[in-house]
A and B are shown apart, each in its own frame.
Chain A
């Protein structure tokens, strides 16, 4: 199993550009999520999904869109990048929800917006 994979590992954007961060998991997990991590901060939840076709907002959803067309993939779209979105982005998955299940994290995407 590859676990949770993310691409790209690094990305530099100019303000106003759009891009999609890719996330995939091969563990047949129902729950997937996106976090951002800023210096000195813990992870903050952006969006999550409890299954194909079902997504919901987390703590900091503004400026980001998600969709979940398959169980395996959960892409994160930046519609019009802003310097405030400079961060490290982590995708994670778990079997079913978080109540008694651990999350498996991807290696992260380091994004810089100029």
Chain B
């Protein structure tokens, strides 16, 4: 079963614009992670936010976590064509050994 669900399924923006993706999950978590997958490649870890954190930044990425609403958002500022990829959230559901991924958001950044 899918623990995390991303929204929207697809997002198309112009270079320089900001992109926001959302993730909702069902059970309590220790942490939530965001990954990026370029077409035909493996996943690359972007950022991990712990359940006791509300916001985290890494370069042009900003992640928020609202455990009361069981939701997270990933904001990419000043997007570039190279940001074109699928973005997945993953949650641990309280387990140290099982990470559950959502179906992803396909982001297209047009030059």
Contacts and interface: CB of A to CB of B under 8 A. Distances in A.
Interface residues of A, number: 29
A43 interface: yes
B80 to A, nearest CB: 22
Contacts, number: 68
Contacts of A4: 42
A3 to B, nearest CB: 9
Contact of B43 (A43, A56, A100): A43
Contact of A41 (B30, B45, B96, B103): B103
B41 A45 contact: no
Nearest to B91: A98
Contacts of A56: 97
Contact of A102 (B30, B45, B96, B103): B45
Contacts of A75: none
A50 B101 CA distance: 19
Interface in B1-50: 1-2, 4, 30-31, 33, 35, 40-45, 48, 50
A76 B43 CA distance: 19
Given A102-B48, A103-B99, A42 B88 contact: yes
Contacts of A59: 1, 98, 100
